[in-house]
């Protein structure tokens, strides 16, 4: 078993990361989170995608402050629209509207073609209008439209442009 062999070979730090990615693909989220944690604790080079993956796992488990902390670390390493949007969904789901708006605004500035970001900004500004006038959502995928619900929580690895929901923290 790889889990038994890895602790005996600290020089194989990257193997923890690879294991985390494989476990994430298999949907074994608790194990994937632990493997990413071992990677980082063993001196693995901090990389944004490890923190983003762990943030998605933590948000899906309802550990919102931990998810935001991971997204913060990822953004410090590599600012990008997707990670801002992920953190924005976390804030929005927790009704922390100001930091959510800041993150969706940053996401749209970085990726102007992401229509879901404009929709979320409009939702925060006027939720009644957006819910009533679904025209703002026409042509977009369903997971980018509508007020966030538990159905938006990430359950597995997010590989595409799908931008899941969850979390709040004062660490914005």
Tens digit of each residue's pLDDT (9 = 90 or more) over 108-120: 999 988 888 887 8
Alpha-carbon span 159 to 136, nearest angstrom = 25
pLDDT (tens digit per residue) in 131-172: 444 433 434 443 444 444 334 333 333 333 333 333 333 344
* Rounded (5°) CA angle 19-86-122: 165
**DSSP secondary structure string for all residues of 77-142:** HS--HHHHHHHHHHHHHTT-HHHHHHHHHHHHHH-TT-HHHHHHHHHHH-HHHHHH-GGGGTTS-G
Task: Tell me how crowded residue 147 is: count the other CB atoms within 10 A of its CB.
Answer: 13
What is the pLDDT at residue 4? 52
Alpha-carbon span 115 to 93, nearest angstrom = 19
What is the pLDDT at residue 92? 86
């Amino acid at each position: 078993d790889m889990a038994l062999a890895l602790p005996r070979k600290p020089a194989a730090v990257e193997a923890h990361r690879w294991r985390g990615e494989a476990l994430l693909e298999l949907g074994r989220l608790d194990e994937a989170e632990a493997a990413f944690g071992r990677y980082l604790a063993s001196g693995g080079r901090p990389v944004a995608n490890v923190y983003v993956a762990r943030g998605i796992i933590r948000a899906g488990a309802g550990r919102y402050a931990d998810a935001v902390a991971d997204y913060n670390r990822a953004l410090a390493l590599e600012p990008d629209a997707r990670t801002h949007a992920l953190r924005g969904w976390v804030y929005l789901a927790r009704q922390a509207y100001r930091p959510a708006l800041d993150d969706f605004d940053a996401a749209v500035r970085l990726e102007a073609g992401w229509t879901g970001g404009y929709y979320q900004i409009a939702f925060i500004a006027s939720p009644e209008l957006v819910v009533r006038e679904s025209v703002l959502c026409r042509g977009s995928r369903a997971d980018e439209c509508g007020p966030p619900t538990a159905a938006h929580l990430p359950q597995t690895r997010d590989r595409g442009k799908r931008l899941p929901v969850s979390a709040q923290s004062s660490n914005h």
